[in-house]
Amino acid sequence: MSTDNSTAGNAPKTTNFIHQIIEDDLNSSNPPAKIVTRFPPEPNGYLHIGHAKSICLNFGTAEKYNGVCNLRFDDTNPEKESQEYIDAIKKDISWLGFEWHEEVKYTSSYFQQLYLWAVHLIEQGNAYICDLDSEQARTYRGDFTTPGKNSPYRDRSVTENLALFARMKDGEFAEGSCSLRAKIDMKSSNMNLRDPMLYRILNVDHHQTGDKWCIYPIYDFAHGQSDALEGITHSICTLEFEGHRPLYEWFIENLPVPATPRQYEFSRLEINYTVTSKRKLKQLVDEKMVSGWDDPRMPTISGMRRRGFTAAAIRRFCEMVGVTRSNGVVDVGMLESAVRDDLEQNARRAMCVVDPLKVTISNFAEDNTQMLSLAVHPKLPMGDRELPFSRNLWIEKQDFSEDTSLGRKKFKRLVIGDYVRLRGAYVIKADSVIKDDSGEVVEILASLVPDTVGANPPAEFKPRGVIHWVSADHAVPCELHIYDRLFTDAAPDKHKEKSFLELINPDSLRVIERAWAEPSLKNAQVEMGYQFERTGYFVADAQSSAAKLVFNQTLPLRESKAK
C-alpha cells in the first residue's frame, strides 16, 4: 500500500518525537512513498519487557502511518544463536498482536552482498586486513582520553588486502589471527570511528547458512546496510546506539547502497526490581535460578505471558511509558497496575479455596445437590457457569472467627451466631464448631436461610458480608504457584560489591500443593486468566492438565502496601 502526503493529517495525534519526525518527513518536499520500519532482534535469547517497548514502537508506528514493519533477525553471531530463540521471538511478536511484512528476514540472507560491499571498501582504500590480536588492537585503539594509534598493517596495498580477505573467506587463517577493519580515523573523539572491525573469523556453522561462511560481519557493518537493502526509512533503536550513528552514516555514504535510511534513538525501558540484560537472564536460566526463559518470574514476554500478563496490558503499559530521549527507571508497579486494570475488566470469575475449613449445612439434605448459576463475568456477556451446592462446603479459614465481639464493620465474615452470604448462594448462620484435640476449629456447623439465593433475606437475617466457597463434594484439587518479585533490591544489577544473583528473593515462589477449585475450572485452558474471587488473579499454567490443575498467580487483587 502507498502513503501520500495526506497520511500525516489523517493519522492520530502525535504522541512522541519519532512520530513528529515522520510527520515532518511526510510533509516535506520529498516525502517517502511509504514508511518502512523494522524490528531487528538478535536470536541469542528470549525477548523481554524492554523489547516489548521497541516492538510496540516499530510495529505501531508502521500501523499508524499505513506503512510496513519488517522482522529481521540480526544473526551475525552464530556462536550464541539458535532456532529456539527465533521461534520464541516470532511467537512473542504474534502474541502481542503484530504482523510483520512479507516473510521473516535474516541478516544472513545478505551475507554475499555484505561481502561484496566489504570488497568495495577495500578497493576504495577504506578497509584493510589487520593482523593485531584482540589485546593489541585494544591497546592501539586508545581510550576516551588517549588518541588511538594507526595499526602497523593500515597501509597495506589494495591488492594485498583483497588477496588476504579472499584467503580469510576461504578459511586459510585461524580464528583471531586477523580481521577486516574500516580505515576511518584512529584519533577520532568517537571511539566507534577508530578503524572499527568489519569482519572476523569464526569457524562456526550458522543456523541459516550452515558451513558456507567462516567469516562473519560485525553488527555495525551489517545493520545499516541491511536497512538499506530493505528500504527502511526510519531505523529506530535505543540510545546506546547514538554514538554508533556516525559510523552507520559513514557506511551509507561510502557504499553504493540502494537506499539511505536514517537512524533515530529513543530511551530503552528500564524497570526496577528487574534485570533485562540477556546475558544475565541467560545466566539465571543456565544456573537454574529459574525454571527457564518462560519462568513466570522472568521479565521475558514468554514469562509474563505464562504468568497471566495480557498482551493488551503490556501494550497499554508501553503506551503509558511513552517514547522519549531521557533515560530513567520505571516503577514495576506501573506495569502491574496496567495488568490489574485489564484483568479487572476482562478476566473470568471463579472461586477457589486456598486454606480450607469445612462447613456442614445441617438443614440441607446429605444426598442433595443443588445447581446454582453464576455469571462468568459481572459486566461482560460471557454467559453463566454452573456451580454445585451441597451439604458439605469449604470456606477459607481466615473467613471465620470465634471472636463474637468483633463488630460487623471490622470483620465482615463469619462468626458464631451471625450470618454471612455465600457468593451466589444462600445466606448461612454459624451455629457451632467442632475442634480437634489441640483446640483448633476443624468444622463449622451452620444452617442456611431458605429462599435467599438471589434474594435479600429478612432484616433479622442480614449478613455481615459475602465470602467465597466451594462444594467439598464436587471441588477439584489444584496446585497454586504464588509469585513475588524475583529480586529483593530495586536495582539488582547496579551494585559494585554484590552480584545480582546474591539479591534473588528466596521467597519469589511459594507452592500451595492442594487448594480446592470450583468444578468449572477443570476445563480451564492454558493461559486463560481468572479472578479467583477475593484471592487474586490467576492463570492456568502451561503444565496444567485435567489430571493436575496448576494455576499461577498473576497478581494479588490489590498492590501490597509493603511493596
How far, in Å, CA of 299 to CA of 394, rounded?
36
Q: What are the catalytic residues?
A: 42, 268, 278
State the pLDDT confidence band at 393, using cuts at 50, 70 and 90. Answer: very high
The position carrying cell 523494522 is 38
Instruction: Tell me the average pLDDT across 7-16.
Output: 53
Terminal CA-to-CA distance of the chain, rounded, Å?
Answer: 49
| Residue 208 three-state SS | coil
With residue 278 as reference, give the H or E element that holds it.
Answer: helix 278-286
State the pLDDT confidence band at 4, using cuts at 50, 70 and 90. Answer: very low
Q: 356-474 sits in which CATH class?
A: mainly beta
Give the model confidence (pLDDT) of 466-498 as tens digits: 999 999 999 999 999 999 999 999 999 999 889
How far, in Å, CA of 218 to CA of 208, rounded?
17
Instruction: Tell me the average pLDDT across 396-413.
Output: 93
For CATH 3.40.50.620, the residue range(s) in the chain are: 7-270
Give residue 14's pLDDT. 53
How far, in Å, CA of 176 to CA of 328, rounded?
38
Residue 263 · residue 248 · CB < 8 Å: yes
Give the model confidence (pLDDT) of 38-58 as tens digits: 999 999 999 999 999 999 999
| CATH code, residues 7-270 | 3.40.50.620
Instruction: Tell me the average pLDDT across 126-150.
Output: 97
- Is pLDDT of 302 > 70? yes
| Residue 108 three-state SS | helix
CATH number 1.10.1160.10 given to 278-346+478-517+524-555: yes
- Strands (E) across 17-139 are located at 36-39, 68-73, 105-106, 127-130
Give residue 232's pLDDT. 98
Inter-axis angle of helices 49-64 and 311-321, nearest 10: 80
Give the model confidence (pLDDT) of 492-533 as tens digits: 999 988 999 999 999 999 999 999 999 999 989 998 999 999
Distant-in-sequence, close-in-space partners of 244: CB < 8 Å, separation ≥ 6: 192, 220, 263
Residue 531 · residue 343 · CB < 8 Å: yes
Q: Is 127 exposed, middle or buried (0-12, 13-18, 19+ CB in 10 A)?
A: buried
With residue 87 as reference, give the H or E element that holds it.
Answer: helix 83-95
For CATH 2.40.240.10, the residue range(s) in the chain are: 356-474
Give the model confidence (pLDDT) of 377-386 as tens digits: 999 999 999 9
Of how many residues is the chain composed?
Answer: 563
- Is pLDDT of 6 > 90? no
State the pLDDT confidence band at 10, using cuts at 50, 70 and 90. Answer: very low
Q: What are phi and psi of 250, to 5 degrees?
A: -65, -45
Q: For the whole model, what pTM was predicted?
A: 0.93
With residue 20 as reference, give the H or E element that holds it.
Answer: helix 17-26
Give residue 3's pLDDT. 36
- Strands (E) across 376-487 are located at 384-389, 392-396, 400-401, 414-415, 419-422, 427-435, 441-449, 466-467, 470-471, 476-483
How far, in Å, CA of 442 to CA of 395, rounded?
11
Give residue 5's pLDDT. 37
Instruction: Tell me the average pLDDT across 223-238.
Output: 98
- Is pLDDT of 9 > 50? no
Give residue 2's pLDDT. 35
For CATH 1.10.1160.10, the residue range(s) in the chain are: 278-346+478-517+524-555
Residue 293 · residue 45 · CB < 8 Å: yes
Give the model confidence (pLDDT) of 452-462 as tens digits: 999 999 999 99
- Is pLDDT of 11 > 70? no
